[in-house]
Structure 1
Amino acid sequence: MSDLTVYLESDARRPELRTSDAALITAHLAHAGILCERWNADTPLPADSDADAVLHAYAVPIKRLKQARRFLTADVVRITPQTDGIAALRAKFLDEHTHDEDEARFFVEGAGAFYIHLKARVFRVVCEAGDLLSIPAGTPHWFDMGPKPRFTTIRFFGRPDGWVATPTGDAIAARFPPFEPEAAQAA
């Protein structure tokens, strides 16, 4: 993982922990039941690569994860600042929600931040190319792609109908700092 910030759910201003140490990030997330791995993400992909090309480039680790975690399908999401309806798409993921299956994402390119609400804390995990994150089923979380998103992810699903979210109704996401890649790089 590229960066982990841990907050008390009641105080988004003062983090308890902020680190970019991969071993520390992995240990903290594993203790919380969250799978994180580093995959090789240096396969060159042209900007116009379609989903099939991305899936083919990562066929071996995709197959391994699907077998290990019993995922049925995988797809590709590629978002850029030019993606149609980007503001509505960003807003869709900013509300805290849960899933009835694990939410697993591998970042092929770019970055985004998952906020995981667990055990009276919020874990802000900034994922970049090479990061795999799997959030356990039923865990409240949200995702911020940033104001000018640019990323490609492989999503894994255990159900044939893909991404299905259940909103929690908690407005906690509005209290936490948004993901802004430029600010994260400067810190």
Structure 2
Amino acid sequence: MTLLTSWPDSGPATVLRRTCDPAEIAAALKPLGVRYEQWPVREDLPHDADGERVSAAYRPQIDRLSAEEGFTTVDVLGLHPGDDPEYPVRAKAAREKFLQEHTHDDDDEVRFFVSGSGVFYLHVGAEVHAVLCERGDLLGVPRGTTHWFDMGTRPSFTAIRFFHEEDGWIGNFTGSAISSRFPDFDSLAAGHRRDGGTV
């Protein structure tokens, strides 16, 4: 179940909004220019399906969104614990790359969660909005939006990524330490589970 939590950007002591209702989440994010929608989940896909199988399973949705938004490049990114001895190193490096506040000049950041979960933190105006995305969620963060992403200390997710530019992900880091002042993925997910949500 998706979770949206909003705080003042001064810190998380005051919760301005907390909701798991998809319609409320979409309505809250729309004025920020953020696209949020849910796609039907493919139950026949294993959580760690490879990119070719994921792309084939979601081909109608991929083609529709690419036509609507003019995306030229689509890929699949997966990171799951397993038998790979390099997983701890790869997981740590991937998490650290996205965990610092940044923007994108030339592209939106559009992700569909095929499996697993992650949190996008949107720093817009004087507020921070944490969107805990799970399987079936699509989030589109417009270019220029200050944000960061946390996949947790033990990442497990597969996501379809959409790009307008062939260069893919290029971040402009702000140098701010704001991400360290807000609850991380592990804290949000644990609290969400206690409240009856799934992660």
**TM-score, structure 2 length as denominator?**
0.89
- For residues 87-127 of structure 1, the C-alpha deviation after alignment (integer angstroms, 9 at most, x for no partner) is 12111110001112110000000111000000110000000
Task: State the match for 2:103 in structure 1.
Answer: 98
Q: In the alignment, does 2:75 pair up with 1:75?
A: yes
Helix, strand or coil at the partner of 2:132: strand
Instruction: State the 1:47 CA deviation.
Output: 5.1
CA distance in 2, matches of 1:38, 1:99: 24
User: What's the counterpart of residue 164 of structure 1?
Assistant: 170
Partner of residue 91 from structure 2, selected from 69, 86, 109: 86
Answering whether residue 113 of structure 2 is matched by residue 110 of structure 1, we say no
CA separation in 2, counterparts of 1:130 and 1:147? Answer: 22
**8 Å contact kept, 2:47–2:158:** no
Mapped contact 1:43–1:57 kept (Cα < 8 A): no
Superposed counterparts of 1:1-187, under 5 Å: 2-46=2-46, 49-82=49-82, 83=87, 84-100=89-105, 101-180=107-186, 181-187=189-195
- Runs of at least 5 residues in structure 2 that lack an aligned partner in the other structure: none
- Specify the code of the residue in structure 2 equivalent to 1:157: F
Tell me: CA distance 1:48–1:89, structure 2 relative to 1, closer, same or farther (3 Å): closer
CA drift of 1:3 comes to 0.5
Deviates more, 1:78-87 or 1:144-153: 78-87
* Mapped partners of 2:35, 2:48: distance in 1: 30
Q: What root-mean-square deviation, in Å, do the aligned CA atoms of Structure 1 and Structure 2 show?
A: 1.4
Distance (Å, rounded) in 2 between the aligned partners of 1:26 and 1:48: 28
CA separation in 2, counterparts of 1:42 and 1:143? 24
Counterpart-to-counterpart distance in 2, 1:34 and 1:20: 17
TM-score by length of 1: 0.95
CA distance, structure 1, for counterparts of residue 111 and residue 14 of structure 2: 28
Aligned residue pairs: how many? Answer: 187
Matched residue SS, 2:185: coil
- The amino acid across from 2:132 in the alignment is V
Q: What are the Cα deviations for residues 134-170 of structure 1, in whole angstroms up to 9, with x where unaligned?
A: 0000101000001121111000011011111111111
- The Cα shift of 1:25 comes to 0.6
CA distance in 2, matches of 1:49, 1:145: 18
After the TM superposition, which segments of 4 or more aligned residues of structure 1 sit over 4 Å from their partners?
Answer: none
Q: Is residue 47–residue 116 contact of structure 2 (8 Å, CA) maintained in 1?
A: no
